[in-house]
Structure 1
Amino acid sequence: MKTSLQTTAFAFATSAVLAAPALADEWRLNNFLPETRPESAQIEKFAEDVNTALAEKDFSIEVYHGGSLGLPNTDLLRVVPTGAVEMSLMWANYLGRDAPALGSVFVQGAISTVDELTDVLPVAQEIYEEEYSEWDVTTVGFVAIPTLSVSVFCRDEPVNTLEDLRNVKLRVWAREQVETFERLGVAAQIIPQEETYVALRTGVVDCALYPALYAKTISLQEVTGYASFLYPMASAPYALGVSDALWESTDPEIRDAITQAADDLWDRTNQYDADIENEMAARESLAEEGIVWSEDFPESDRALFVEAVSETWKMLAEEAGGNALDYRERMLTALGR
């Protein structure tokens, strides 16, 4: 099945990416995140470190931000194994269509503290390496995501209770969120981050689930006027993937330089001490541009949300079957649950 998917994707990849093939000594790194995201700056630093280390070999990595290579992030398990792009950032929560088991590793909202995140990260990284290898993708490194405070940003009026949230159309970014909010009676739909601004502007949705820390990267302050904190979230790390065939055929000196730069990238990003301070600074900055911060969702609503997340996590693992059940169990064991 995977071979069939990858073969089908190759024709797409040929037109989307191979129309302007990279030189043998230049790798393109597909980064689907906006260039303004903090992680994008770290990825640029990773590429710079590789390029500096391999200057005498005339090898370089060029980063392409914001999906500028035309590769949908949901298709990356089909495209990366073909070698159509030399390296790509990959996020498991976007890849559940092709690899449902990936959705049972980190269900957003189930892990909320730095201590819990620290406990599960080694297990999650091991699982991702195993799962990506099943798709002929070598994981050469990871990029950590800050622990985030997820808020509901609304266009016309403040929404800070589940009761009020049931009366609006809500934008989310992953299937597990759709399932969780459905359990709570909320109409949620997946809209990619690059389409969220227009969706709010045109009324496709009334509100958007989004972290304040990243809100300005898609100009939410221009299309929403109110925000309320709903839940804390620790996220799955991004992975840097390369096709097995390309990685195995690459000069060992180049592989070593990439691995070292990736290790340094992980060390830089796997830091969480300033997350709360950065969140409050982001809220203050958004307030200066007109966002009105309403009261947080009440603790009783958040308790209902966490309960719904737990039910969604179990459902997704059972639905996916196979490795998904094992992945969830390994994560729960690491959490001591």
Structure 2
Amino acid sequence: MKHTTLSVATATAIAVGATISIATAAGAQELKYANWAPPTHTINAAQIEPLAKALSEGTDGAVTLRGYHGGELGAGPADQYVRVLQGTADMGWGLQGYTSSQFPKSLIAELPGALPLDAPGYKALWQAFDTIKGEYPQTEVIALWGSEPNILMMHDKDVRTPADLKGLKIRVAGSISAAAMEALGATPVQIPMTQVYNGLQTGLIDGVVSGASVLSDFKLNEVVGSVTTGPNLGRLAFYTVMNKAAYDGLSPEAKSALDAMKGEKISKMTEEAWIATANKALEAARASDATTVIDLDADGSKAFNDALADVTDTYVSKVGGEDTLAAMRSE
């Protein structure tokens, strides 16, 4: 699989030459938020709208934030970070896993078993921020959060043991979930989430490892026939960043309004919305005659968790992430 690498030097060069995309009219500033997902996605109500409200209220309408949805500022979630650096967008969200080489220590939060299933991902990421902040050059980090725990969602296969995954093509978000699926005997396939529906429908992939929120956010409930929960398959991690020059150029009132929201506050709000969406989607799957939900208990999950333990240990050692993992775990 191919992963995009964005070096600090490259990021700096892009940012220095970027044109800040703040539209100015009659003294008002409109900040652009790039959202590659549809406007119905959880990110809109969970994060974009609260940030927009805070900025508008904090500046008496002098600074507004507009969401550009469905990839209007450029298709594809993998390029979100670069769009912010270039000034195509002032702010945008993405997945660290889509450009895995840029975020080696941030991705520790995604590792199977790195965090308990019920541990808040946003808190772990912010606890470790001092060890990972260098992975976000030339931006102001607005939010860092995690998804609900990953589960397996299959088109027409039931998965109860690792052996059931042998040879199946499973869509993954990045290098972490790819290594996990390989350890379980599956073949990882990396395609954007926006292409997963069609991939399941056409047989390009047999299943997907992700959080249950995608069942509703991307309508995968229409093409997923079986769901497996229980094993600690890790989770996804996300970021929202702002062009550093755009942030530094904000009025004192706008900066104060944004500072009151950014960090753990908006991260917590976003993650809790993600989990609420996931819980609702999973409840709908349980109630659907078209979907089989397999909930593995501790004994049933053990074979998966045992097979994945080496994935986590190997990755942490490879990236020198022992301090980051300890911080995420509050050790």
Which deviates more from structure 2 when the two are superposed, residues 93-102 or residues 83-92? Answer: 93-102
SS in 2 for 1:78: helix
Q: Is the 8 A contact 1:77 1:98 kept in 2?
A: no
Q: Post-superposition shift, 1:10?
A: 10
Pair 1:53 & 2:58 matched:
yes
**What is the TM-score when the length of structure 1 is the normalising length?**
0.79
Report 1:1-12 matches (<5 A). Answer: 1-4=7-10
| Displacement over 6 Å in runs of 4+ | 8-11
CA distance in 1, matches of 2:102, 2:117: 29
Distance change (3 Å), C-alpha of 1:302 and 1:289: closer
Aligned to 1:96: 100
Aligned to 2:148: 147
Aligned to 1:331: 325
SS in 2 for 1:231: coil
Pair 1:75 & 2:83 matched:
no
Q: Post-superposition shift, 1:203?
A: 0.8
User: Any idea what the Cα deviations from partners look like across 1:26-78, whole Å, max 9, x if unmatched?
Assistant: 1101133443333321112221221222234x221101234332153323443
Aligned to 1:316: 315
SS in 2 for 1:311: helix
Gaps of 5+ in 1: none
User: Any idea what the Cα deviations from partners look like across 1:213-250, whole Å, max 9, x if unmatched?
Assistant: 33022121222222222435664653331222222232
Q: Is the 8 A contact 2:211 2:235 kept in 1?
A: no
SS in 1 for 2:241: strand
Q: Is the 8 A contact 1:30 1:87 kept in 2?
A: yes
CA distance in 1, matches of 2:74, 2:220: 23
CA distance in 1, matches of 2:241, 2:226: 38
May I ask how many residue pairs the two structures share in their alignment? 319
Q: Is the 8 A contact 1:147 1:233 kept in 2?
A: no
CA distance in 1, matches of 2:326, 2:8: 28
CA distance in 1, matches of 2:106, 2:278: 28
**What letter corresponds to residue 259 of structure 1 in structure 2?**
D
SS in 2 for 1:188: strand
User: Any idea what the Cα deviations from partners look like across 1:132-173, whole Å, max 9, x if unmatched?
Assistant: 1xx21121x22544533x332222232322111114221222
Aligned to 1:122: 126
SS in 2 for 1:285: helix
Q: Is the 8 A contact 1:110 1:309 kept in 2?
A: no
Aligned to 1:249: 249
SS in 2 for 1:158: coil
SS in 2 for 1:250: coil
Q: What is the RMSD of the two structures over their aligned residues, measured on CA atoms?
A: 3.5
Aligned to 1:265: 266
Q: Is the 8 A contact 2:127 2:327 kept in 1?
A: no
CA distance in 2, matches of 1:227, 1:331: 29
**What letter corresponds to residue 102 of structure 1 in structure 2?**
S
Q: Is the 8 A contact 2:145 2:267 kept in 1?
A: yes
CA distance in 2, matches of 1:182, 1:234: 14
Match of 1:36 among 37, 40, 56: 40
Distance change (3 Å), C-alpha of 1:107 and 1:268: same
**What letter corresponds to residue 311 of structure 2 in structure 1?**
T
SS in 1 for 2:294: coil
SS in 2 for 1:152: strand
Which deviates more from structure 2 when the two are superposed, residues 110-119 or residues 251-260? Answer: 110-119
Percent of counterpart pairs with the same letter?
Answer: 19
Structure with the bigger percentage of helix: 1
Q: Post-superposition shift, 1:278?
A: 6.7
Pair 1:282 & 2:268 matched:
no
Q: Is the 8 A contact 2:33 2:92 kept in 1?
A: yes
CA distance in 2, matches of 1:152, 1:31: 26
Match of 1:111 among 108, 115, 119: 115
Distance change (3 Å), C-alpha of 1:191 and 1:112: farther
Q: Post-superposition shift, 1:102?
A: 3.5
Aligned to 2:3: none
Q: Is the 8 A contact 1:179 1:312 kept in 2?
A: yes
Aligned to 2:188: 188
Q: Post-superposition shift, 1:301?
A: 5.7
Pair 1:221 & 2:236 matched:
no
CA distance in 2, matches of 1:254, 1:214: 33
**What is the TM-score when the length of structure 2 is the normalising length?**
0.80
Q: Is the 8 A contact 1:215 1:221 kept in 2?
A: yes
Gaps of 5+ in 2: 1-6
**What letter corresponds to residue 56 of structure 2 in structure 1?**
N
